[in-house]
Amino acid sequence: MAKSIFERLGGEYEQQGDYLIPRLTVPAEEEQPIGIWGQRHLDYLKQYRNVTYTNILTSGKLNTYLADIDRQAQERFERLIKGMKQAQGITERLKEENALEWIGQLNSIRACAREIVNEEIIYA
């Protein structure tokens, strides 16, 4: 019997009952830790960009891709917080003088930075 295109390209079949099922595997990739930003992007891909998610998953690069997104988002988040703190004059002196005011302003900055990162990187 002539080989199929799948077999000529190195694919294999396995017998399951009366059927030959292609034996498909995803290429192995290095496991990297994925933080909260990478998890959020993964959820977004699964829910709204299913074709993109499937393509990255089957290429064997999903973990690497998500780790990179996580790293980029965390770096952007930290840069935004630092810049906003300087622009609004939030210093260690304010922390010493009025800790509650410092916490409130810092929480506000973190919320703004989180929204920016979500818009620019996570949900883009």
Q: Which tens digits make up the pLDDT trace of 47-106?
A: 999 999 999 998 889 999 999 999 999 999 999 999 999 999 999 999 999 999 999 999
Between residues 111 and 24, which one has the greater pLDDT?
Answer: 111
8 pLDDT tier (thresholds 50, 70, 90): confident
Torsion sign, CA atoms 37, 109, 112, 86: negative
The model's pTM is 0.78
Q: What is the pLDDT of residue 1?
A: 66
* Average pLDDT taken over every residue of the chain: 92
Q: Are 83 and 116 in contact (CB under 8 A)?
A: no
Q: What is the pLDDT of residue 39?
A: 97
The share of the chain scoring above pLDDT 70, in percent, equals 98
Between residues 119 and 24, which one has the greater pLDDT?
Answer: 119
Radius of gyration of the chain (CA): 23
45 pLDDT tier (thresholds 50, 70, 90): very high
From CA 33, how far away is CA 74, in angstroms rounded?
13
